[in-house]
Amino acid sequence: MKLELRKVKVKDIVLGDQMKFADGVLTVDVNGLIAALKDDVNVKEIKIDLAKPGDKTRIIPVKDVIEPRVKVEGKGNGFPGVTTPIEQLGSGAVNVLDGAAVVTIGDIVGFQEGVVDMWGEGAKWTPFSKTMNIVVDIIPANGLDPHTHETTVRLAGLKAAELIGYAAKDAVADEVEVFEMGSIFEETEKYPDLPKVVYVEMLISQGLLHDGYIYGVNSQQILPTMIHPNEEIDGAVISGNCVAACDKITTYQHQNNSAILDLYNRHGKDINFLGVILTPELTTLAGKFRTCDYTAKLCKSLGADGVIVSEEGYGNPDSDLLMICKRLESEGIKTVLITDECSGWDGMSQPLADTTPEAVAVVSAGNVSHVVELPPADKVIGNAKAIATLAGGWEGCLSEDGSMKCELNAVIGATSEIGYHNLTVKLY
């Protein structure tokens, strides 16, 4: 399977009356985009705004971030199974508006949405302070039930990214990244002496608006499933959840999954990267036993020598993470965990809700409880008062001058457990 990501560098974004890309500038057709999104009867109103790196702009409450792209060769444009008919992803060529992002905001349903600051202290903690953001503010029709409300908002964001992506259809790439990998048998024949490594990506699958989606299928409804890594970076996995903003894996981060990209970079050099297993994080004990046992069985059946396991969320999913680790290590499969910590404001509390002696290799993406102080913004896109009801905020954390205190919990992507964030690790 071969996939080309043809990256078109976006130097600036402007609002206009046509959708086009020329000389590094992306022009967004505001009225056309609004009209297209309002085709959904559940959408009452749409507002479009821009937020660029260095602007003293705050975006809140953020639901999702999506990278605008267009498939120029092969099957599967858009998000098959969600915005377009189902087709197999992972092959062909995609033009990517590199440096641009669609950021969705709107009325809160779940309390676990987030904030993005484009400058200052807040910008240090989120990767989306570095992207040029097209902010889509979606106001759903009155009287929708929470799940319909949430579906409406998320579909609008995906459709916006798809429509904006068409601006790059005829653009010439500044950079081309090629991702090519054959079957497990073919790759093992090429690299017989390299250790075989599987990536297990845990997805929030807890209901109550806490679900990831694979080709449009709610991850609650699957057993652990193996996919080709190209499928995820081609748009097969999307965010559909309201998990805490700091470690919510946005659709943009799935499209650019840094764990997959790092493993791909080492494939054929010091490891044989076998593929990706998507594992649902369920809330019931029976569900946890089923998925964790099944995940370990898949890894063993594939002949994995080592497994990287990344979590999404914290607390309840910590148990799944450690249960998978225990099963793999008990089978003699070396296991590395990627998680974050909920260690309290002082960093001294127990970092995970569960533990096991087999967890001997753990990468921390940071402390979700770390408190940051964010200065007043010149411009707020959305509603700054939302911080009081977001996970990581509290009543009174927004000052009269517009400054706020919050935990990293409330900052989108701050402690991403696939490694897509701005934190570093210090060794002592």
Domain residue extents for the chain: 2-410
CB atoms within 10 A of CB 297: 13
Give me the pLDDT at residue 313, please. Answer: 84
Q: State whether the Cα torsion 404-405-406-407 is positive or negative.
A: positive
Of 242, 292, 299, 342, the active-site residue reads 242
Q: Is 397 a catalytic residue?
A: no
pLDDT score at 316: 85
Structure tokens at 17: 């009356």
Residue with tokens 């081309």: 176
356 token code pair: 């096991």
Q: What is the mean pLDDT of each run of 10 residues along the chain (428 residues)?
A: 97 96 96 96 95 97 96 93 94 98 85 90 96 96 88 93 96 96 94 97 80 90 96 94 87 96 96 97 93 97 97 89 96 95 84 86 91 97 93 93 95 92 60
Residue 224 pLDDT: 97
pLDDT, position 302: 96
For residue 343, the model assigns a pLDDT of 84
- pLDDT reported for residue 428: 46
pLDDT score at 423: 62
295 vs 279: CA distance, rounded Å: 7
pTM for this structure? 0.95
Structure confidence at residue 304 (pLDDT): 97
Residue 66 zone, left/alpha/beta (φ > 0; ψ -120 to 50; rest):
beta
Of 96, 99, 79, the closest CA to residue 87 belongs to 79
Separation CA 411–CA 49 (nearest Å)? 20
